[in-house]
Amino acid sequence: MALPPITENQKLEEAARAGWLYYVAGKTQDEIAKQLNTSRQSAQRLVAMAVSKGLIKVRLEHPIKRCMELADLLQQRFGLLKCEVVPSVPGDADSVVGLSQAGAAEIERYAKSRQAKTIAFGTGRALRACTNELTNMQCPQHRIVSLVGNIAQDGSASRYDVAIHVAERLGARHFPMPVPVIASTQADKAQWQQLTHVKNVHELALQADVYFVGVGDLGINSPLHLDGFITQHELAALEAMGATGEVISWIFDSNGKLVQSDINQRVTSVALSTRRDKHVIGIAAGQNKVPAIAGAIESGMINSLITNESTAEALLHL
């Protein structure tokens, strides 16, 4: 497998991250290697590079210092397995610039493994933006699996089916979820999920090595409403129930509890149960998404987070 070249800026950023973890956060080289998904020897070289390049003095001389401090605070506050915070775009706190590059870099860390991996994806605009930043690779050993259906109520394909775009960029096998995102009835959902190929995708998704998902808010401009998956009447009913956000179309309240709605009975997505053995990485940012992100963490549907500075600060002030 041909791996893409690593730029000097990428090397420096990794070195800065390793240096901060070692000298400021007090992590061991084994812990750094695990967090950066690399070998202990590579972690040691990155720490050494941070010193040799002058990134480490009395304090870390790198613009992502504040981001790493926020990430560490979020990780401790919410008990996250992993957290990355990117700089916010001045004047546009909701921008996915920076978020998409960080998400793509995290996806590529897994893609670079020569050992076969099963990588599962949800959907959403931020995740879709990540796919545009991925380097073209040839990784036929990996399997890319969809966690969520790719068909709207009218039969049209979802514009934000992330898994297929990731598979194309990585040259990997793709396992789509060929069902409606939200079935018309509970009976229809049961019929869809009895299909052999749908059951196979669900089983494969539950065995994934890592999960990448978006976090959606609820409201008139929410993706579920704008993309035609729920009506305005259903949206109003959900808000009356205290619904705050959604992850792969599972709708929850601010306490992270799934709302008792007929919609949650018709969602065909894989159920993301609370787990600590594998990373479920939420990629999301924006002031309107702060309650949804907090609810997603509380629900246990995500245990890792990639977000931006302004969102991180808002989460810490909840």
Tens of pLDDT, residues 257-269: 999 999 999 999 9
Cβ neighbours of 222 (radius 10 Å): 21
Residue 310: its pLDDT value, please?
A: 93
pLDDT digits (tens, 9 = 90+) for 207-220: 999 999 999 998 88
Q: What is the pLDDT of residue 191?
A: 93
CA distance 268 to 270: 7
pLDDT band for position 226 (cuts 50, 70, 90): confident
Identify whether the C-beta of residue 202 lies closer than 8 Å to the C-beta of residue 270.
yes
Looking at residue 4, what is its pLDDT?
56
227 band by pLDDT with thresholds 50, 70 and 90: confident
What are the tens digits of pLDDT across the range 110-154? 999 999 999 999 988 889 999 989 989 999 999 999 999 877 666
- Is the pLDDT at 312 greater than 90, yes or no? yes
55 CB burial (10 A radius; 0-12, 13-18, 19+): buried
Taking the C-alpha atoms of residue 99 and residue 318, their distance in angstroms, rounded to an integer, is 22
Q: Rounded mean pLDDT of 237-259?
A: 92
Asked if residue 62 lies in contact with residue 24, where contact means CB atoms within 8 angstroms, the answer is no
What pLDDT digit, counting tens, does each position of 58-111 carry?
Answer: 444 555 788 999 999 999 999 999 999 998 877 776 777 789 999 999 999 999
The two three-digit tokens of residue 152, written as one number: 């709207």
Cα distances (Å, whole numbers) of residue 167 to 117, 171, 184, 283, 318: 12, 6, 29, 18, 37
Convert the pLDDT of each residue in 11-36 to its tens digit: 888 888 888 888 877 889 999 999 88
Of 112, 36, 122, the residue nearest 71 (C-alpha): 36
Q: What is the pLDDT of residues 174-209, one digit of tens each?
A: 999 989 889 889 999 999 989 999 999 999 999 999
Three-class SS state of 271: coil
Rounded CA gap, 217 and 290, in Å? 8
